Chain A
Amino acid sequence: MDEFDVVIIGAGPAGSSTAYRLAKEGFNVLFVERSNRPGSKNVFGGRIYSYPFPEIYPDFWKEAPIERYVTQENLVFMTESNSVTMKFDSSSSEGVSTQSFTALREKFDSWMAKKAEEAGALLITGTRVDDLYWENGKIAGIIAGPDTVRSNVVVAADGVVSDFAQKAGLRRELTAKEVSVAVKETIKLPKETIQDRFNLGKREGAAYSFVGSATGYLRGGGFLYTNKETISLGAVVNSEDLSLQKKEIFEIIENFKLHPFIQKLVRGGKVVEYSAHMIPELGVNTLPALFKDNFLAVGDAAAMVINHGYTYRGVDLAVVSGISAAEAIIQARQRGDYSHMGLSSYPDFLKKRGIMDDMNKFKNAPSFLQNARIFTAYPRMVCDFFDRMYTVDGKGKEKIFDIGKDEMFGKVSVLKMLRDMMSGLRSM
C-alpha cells in the first residue's frame, strides 16, 4: 500500500496551494485530480483577486498565466431594450492595475499545480478519488478504484459539491436554495478587436456585472470578462428561482446573449467552450465545521466563496484557506498530533489572514441577495428613469424630480428602497 504524509483530493486552487506549501516544508504529499489537466473542467467567471499570491509565490507577477489586468469595472442595469452602465476606470499610467486580473482556469490551475509539483508534491491526474479510507473509526487515507493510499491527513479540496466534506461528516448536502447555477461561454475574438471594442490597452482588461433582464429578473447576475483573445460571458442564477419559474439556465444565457448590448460586444466571435457549474450561497453561518481528526476541508469544499451579488470571489479564498490548512498541518506535525486538537490552529490561521472577517462581513449577503427586488424592480426603475429623462417627444418634458418620483416611488415604497440599499451597502 502506498503511504504519504498528506493526501489532497482535487488540484484546483485550494488543493494546489495546500500541496505547494506542504511540499516546501518537506512533507511527502500526494494530490489527486479527476480531470486529465488541472483546471480543464473548472468553471469560473474569470477574475482573480491577486492579494494572496505574491507572498506565496515570490515570482508570481513574472510567471503566472495572467490574461489581462482588470482596469475597468462596469455595473450594468438592463431591461430587454435598455441599459444603464456605471463605469469605474482604474487604469494607471502604466496600463496595469494589480488588484485583480482575468485568467483562464486551465492555464491558471495547471500553473498552480506545476508549482506544487516543482516543490516536490506528487500529482496524479485522470484519477477520481472514490472514498475515504477509515481505520478504527478514523480517516486514514483515500480509496480510488482498486487502490488504497494511506496518509496521516486527508485534505478535501474537491470543490463545491464536495463529496468528501460530506463523507467526513463535516457538512450536509446543499439544498436548491443554497446553490446557484452558472453557465459560461468562452468566445474567441482577435486581440485587437477586444481592445478596440472595450477601449483597452494591450494588457488592460474589463469586468462587467449585469443585473435585470440578464437573468430574466431572477436572483443572480450576468458577467463578462475580457481575456487576451477571448471573452468570458455567463450568468449565475439562483436554482430555486429557476425551478419556481420553470426556466432552464440555457434559455437564460441564450436570451442574455441576444441582448443588443451583449450582441455588440461579442459580434463575430466564435464560441470555443461552453460549461455549467454550481456555486454555494452559504455564508459562514451555515458552515458547520472545517476540520476533524486527520481531515480538513479547503476552498469551495469548505464553502469559502463570497457572493457580492454581482460578482464572485472564490479563487483567492481557496488559496488563503489552502495555505492556512497547510500551516495548521505543519503545526500538527510539530506537536505530533493530527487529531482535531492537533489541527485546531486552522481557523486561527484563517482569522490571521483576515478571511474570517471578510466571510463574516459578507455573511448577510445571501439574505440580502434573497431579496428579489434588487433583481426585478430596480433594474427596470433605473432604465425607465433614464429612458424618460432622455425622451423628447414634443409632449412637454417632465421635470427630473417628477420622473424620479414616478419611477422610483411608484413601484416600491421609499422606505423599502432605503432599507434595501442600506442592507445592500452593509453586505457589500
Chain B
Amino acid sequence: MEDGQEARPPNQGLKIVVCIKQVPKGEQLEIDPVKKTLRREGVESEMNPADKNAVEMALGFKDEHGGEVIALSMGSRSFERSLRMAIGMGADRAVLLSDRALAGSDTTPTSYALAGTISLLGKIDLILCGEETSDSSTGHVGPGIAGHLEIPQITYVTEAKVENDKIIAKRQVEFGFETWETTFPALLTVKFGCNRPREPTLSRKIKAKRGNVIQTWSAKDAGLDESKLGLNGSPTIVSTIDTVELPSRKGELFSGNLGKNVSDLISRLVRDGFIRG
C-alpha cells in the first residue's frame, strides 16, 4: 500500500476488510483413508470459526467508530454462503475472488491473491483474519497478506481498541498475554473464541440475499499474475498423511457398591498402567 504511512484522518470511521474462509463443519471432518486428503464432497460447510470472531471484532469497531466492513473470501461460488452470513451479521458488502486459476492454491498464492485484491479496495485502515482455519490450521495467510502489503501485523489477538491513530491489541502467547500497539493500516489475526459472534438478524439476512451486496472478481479483475496462482504457485508438497485408529473401548461396567467400584476402577487403571499408584 503506497500511502500506507499516512496518518488516518480523524472522525472518518474505519474501513475494515475481514478475510473469511469456508471450511467443512468440524463434526463432519473425515480423512479419506485412501486419498489421504480431507473429504470435502457432500460435507456441510460453514464459515471458519475464528473468522466469525474476526467479523465480530470488525463489527465492534464499526459500532464504536463508524465506517465500513467488507468481507472478503477466495474460493468457489459456494463460499457466497459464508459471505452472506457475514453480511447477515452486519458487514456492509462482500467480495468473492473466484477463479479456476486459483484452484489448488496453498497459503502462498492465497495470501498473494488476497493482498492483491485488498489493494484494489481503496484505502483500508484495518484487515482482520481468523488466527487459523479449522481445516488446515497453518495460520499463514494473515501474516502473508501483511507481508505482501508491507503493513504491521499483530497475531493471535484477543482484544483490541482504537485510540486516536493507534490500534492497541492484546495478543495471546504461550504463557500469557502481550499488549502491542501500532499505527494504521494494520493487520490483526483474531483468536478463536475471544468474543461472541452476533447472530445474523432477519432484516440483515434479507439484505444479504436480496441486494447486490456480493461482488465476484476473477483473478484478472484483481490484477493477479496467473503464474503465481494455483498449484504452480504453491510450494507445499504433501508426502504422506497418517490416520490414527482409535482403540475401541473395553466396555466394562462396574456395578454395585459405589465406594467399592471407585477403588476397583482405580486399582484396574493402576494395574493396566494408565495411572501411577
Contact = CB atoms under 8 A, between A and B. Distances in A.
A122 B202 contact: no
Interface stretch (B130-138, B165-173, B203-211): B203-211
Contacts of A146: 201, 203
Nearest to A30: B206
Interface string A112-136: 0000000000111011000000000
B13 interface: no
A2 B206 contact: yes
B201 A124 contact: no
Contacts of B205: 124, 126-127
Interface residues of B, number: 9
A147 B200 CA distance: 11
B69 to A, nearest CB: 19
A279 interface: no
B203 A122 contact: no
Interface in B192-235: 199-203, 205-206, 209-210
A146 B205 CA distance: 13
A124 B209 contact: yes
Interface in A117-176: 122-124, 126-127, 144-147, 149
A147 B209 contact: no
* B contact face: mostly helix, strand, loop, or mixed: helix
Contacts of A2: 202-203, 206
A244 B45 CA distance: 45
A126 B200 contact: yes
Contacts of B199: 145
Interface in A7-32: 30, 32
A274 to B, nearest CB: 15
Q: Which has the most chain B C-beta neighbours within 10 Å: A30, A124, A147, A149?
A: A124
Contacts of B209: 122-124
B202 A127 contact: yes
Nearest to A36: B44
B116 to A, nearest CB: 33
A147 B202 contact: yes
A147 B210 contact: no
A32 B210 contact: no
A367 to B, nearest CB: 43
- Give the one of B200, B202, B203 with max A CB within 10 A: B202
Contacts of B206: 2, 30, 122, 124, 149
Interface in B89-112: none
A32 B206 CA distance: 10
B203 A149 contact: yes
A32 B200 CA distance: 13
A145 B202 contact: yes
Contacts of A32: 202
Contacts of B203: 2, 146-147, 149
A123 B209 CA distance: 9
Interface string A199-242: 00000000000000000000000000000000000000000000
A372 to B, nearest CB: 38
A113 B162 CA distance: 44
A159 to B, nearest CB: 19
A144 B200 CA distance: 11
A209 B209 CA distance: 44
A32 B205 CA distance: 11
Contacts of B202: 2, 32, 124, 127, 144-145, 147, 149
A144 B88 CA distance: 14
A146 B200 CA distance: 11
Nearest to A142: B202
B24 to A, nearest CB: 15
Contact of B210 (A122, A126, A149): A122
A194 to B, nearest CB: 20
Interface string A29-67: 010100000000000000000000000000000000000
A410 B177 CA distance: 83
B177 to A, nearest CB: 34
A127 B206 CA distance: 11
A123 B199 CA distance: 17
Contacts of A126: 200, 205
A127 to B, nearest CB: 5
A180 B120 CA distance: 60
A126 B201 CA distance: 10
B108 to A, nearest CB: 34
Nearest to B46: A36
Contacts of A149: 202-203, 206
A258 to B, nearest CB: 19
A117 to B, nearest CB: 9
A149 B205 CA distance: 12
Nearest to A143: B202
B30 to A, nearest CB: 14
Contacts of A147: 201-203
A308 to B, nearest CB: 35
A328 B95 CA distance: 42
A126 B199 CA distance: 10
A126 B89 CA distance: 13
A145 B210 contact: no
B210 to A, nearest CB: 7
A144 B206 CA distance: 12
A158 B93 CA distance: 32
A282 B214 CA distance: 47
Nearest to B203: A147
Nearest to B207: A2
Contacts of A30: 206
B8 to A, nearest CB: 31
Contacts of A123: 209
Contacts of A122: 206, 209-210
A32 B199 CA distance: 16
A204 B200 CA distance: 43
Interface of B: 199-203, 205-206, 209-210
16 contacts: A2-B202, A30-B206, A122-B210, A124-B206, A124-B209, A126-B205, A127-B200, A127-B201, A127-B205, A144-B201, A145-B201, A145-B202, A146-B201, A147-B203, A149-B202, A149-B203
A-B pairs, top 8 by smallest CB distance, nearest first, are: A144-B202, A147-B203, A147-B202, A124-B205, A127-B202, A145-B201, A2-B206, A147-B201
Given A2-B206, A145-B199, A146-B203, 9 more contacts: A32-B202, A122-B210, A123-B209, A124-B205, A126-B200, A127-B201, A127-B205, A144-B201, A149-B202
